[in-house]
Amino acid sequence: MGHILLRHRDEGLENLHQLDVYRANGGYDALKKVLDEYSKDEVITIIRDSNLRGRGGAGFPAGLKWGFIPKVDGDKYVVINTDESETGTFKDRELVERNPHQVIEGALIAAYAIGAKQIYNYFRGEFMSAAFNFEEALQECYAAGLIGENIMGSDFSCDFSCHYGAGAYICGEETALLNSLQGDLGQPWSKPPFPAVEGLYSKPTVVNNTETLANVPPIIMNGADWYKSMGTERSAGIKIVCLSGHINKPGNYEVEMGTSYRDILFDEKYGGGIPNGKKFKALLPSGGSGPVIVDDALDAPMTYEGLTEHGSVMGSASLIVMDETVDMVWAAMKMIHFFRHESCGKCTPCREGVFWMKIVIDRIYNGIGTEKDIKTLESVANQIQGNTLCALGEFAINPALATIRHFPEEYRAKIK
């Protein structure tokens, strides 16, 4: 079977980023179908029935999100979140670079469904070349009447523009992204108001991950039941997994939901095992933001709920594999450095707490820490938990708490 999202990897579709190739292979048929056959509500119903959930990591049902948009006239926006900044995540980049039209088509369908006349794609600033490819694709679409006035001869008109971030992890958070997009400081706001009610320029806004939207055209073409036939009951469909670290075959893989982590790591179809005969030690299932898991969790299915009992999450499915050589205190320290660097500073617990964690873990790693420092690290992390404005603060504590939980002896070995 061919790919659903990473279609450019299929034979003969290497140039899928070109509009003519995309169209020759069924591209924009879904948009045509929507414009010809479906009302706005029918589109939302199909997406809701398909059980498609947010692929940025939070897993919020996409159809539900679209359904929250007030059904009144006025400015509304669809914003694509291509800020892909999670450590070890590189799936959206491949999509916008190699299969941009599927993202564009998905976004246009979303815009049609909620009544938006403007779509923005918010790119991570470092994705400049990928974004230029994407902009070329947009120009092709404008020229072909797929974006702009009266798309495909219908009443539906919609514009599409790109915006480049300036390198802030926090701008992947939807409200920070919207602030950044409208020219304000990239800091999240306290919800409510939710973007569906007051988003970009205080207008109803849907913010969807790039991969989420790429799923939309095939769902429209093949139906909700087809999509639900893949994956599990609560986590339907497919997911792009980003494999990196100590793994034989790093890269993106389109994987059916519910596949076990062990298969993803060791199956020859996917990761193909740990290189150099080393033993597996730990896995970050969701980049830096998800708690680390160890061997006992590898048989869990990759679903939104699969790692709950192991205290972790699927998130954006960016799997960073660590073999037996990795110093887990070092790994935790690197991640804490990352979050300290990326904390926006708006809310106190994250701004001050993550800074404090960094000081303490530096001390431990450098061999001048004490037992008390391990306790402080753990307690500061616990004090941040539940008290921050957005999820970044919650992510930032995971490297500390999960490594202390799974590898207490490595911490103890470092202290005086």
Which positions touch another protein (CB under 8 A)?
168, 170, 185-187, 189-190, 192, 340-349, 351-356, 359, 376, 383, 386-389
Within 10 angstroms of residue 370's Cβ, the number of other Cβ atoms is 12
**Which residue lies nearer to another protein by CB, 78 or 389?**
389
Query: What is the nearest approach in angstroms of another protein to the Cβ of residue 186?
Result: 8
End-to-end CA distance of the chain: 57
CA 234 to CA 286: how far, in whole Å? 19
Residue 295 or 371 with smaller CB distance to another protein = 371
Phi and psi at residue 236, to the nearest 5°: -85, 155
Nearest approach, Cβ of 415 to another protein (angstroms)? 16
Instruction: Supply the minimum distance, in Å, between the C-beta of residue 378 and another protein.
Output: 12
Q: Which is nearer to another protein, 187 or 316 (CB)?
A: 187
Q: How far is the CB of 74 from another protein (least distance, A)?
A: 18
Alpha-carbon distance of 183 to 293, in angstroms, equals: 39
The structure tokens listed for 185 are 């400081």
By beta-carbon proximity to another protein, the closer residue of 152 and 391 is 391
11 sits in the region (left: phi over 0; alpha: psi -120 to 50; else beta) called: beta
Closest distance between another protein and the C-beta of residue 85, in Å? Answer: 13
11 Cβ contact list (under 8 Å, min separation 6): none
- By beta-carbon proximity to another protein, the closer residue of 303 and 388 is 388
User: Which of 188/217 has CB closer to another protein?
Assistant: 188
For β-strands 251-256 and 280-288, DSSP reports them as unpaired
Q: Where are the beta strands (DSSP E) in 151-291?
A: 159-164, 205-209, 238-245, 251-256, 280-288
Q: How far is CA 165 from the centre of its chain?
A: 16
**Least distance from C-beta 192 to another protein, angstroms?**
8
Whether the bond between 100 and the residue before it is cis, its omega within 30 degrees of 0, is no
Q: Which helix (H) or strand (E) holds 318?
A: strand 318-323
- CB 386 to another protein: min, Å: 4
CA dihedral (124, 127, 130, 136) positive or negative: positive
Closest CB to another protein among residues 138, 168: 168
Give the pairing of strands 118-123 and 77-82.
parallel
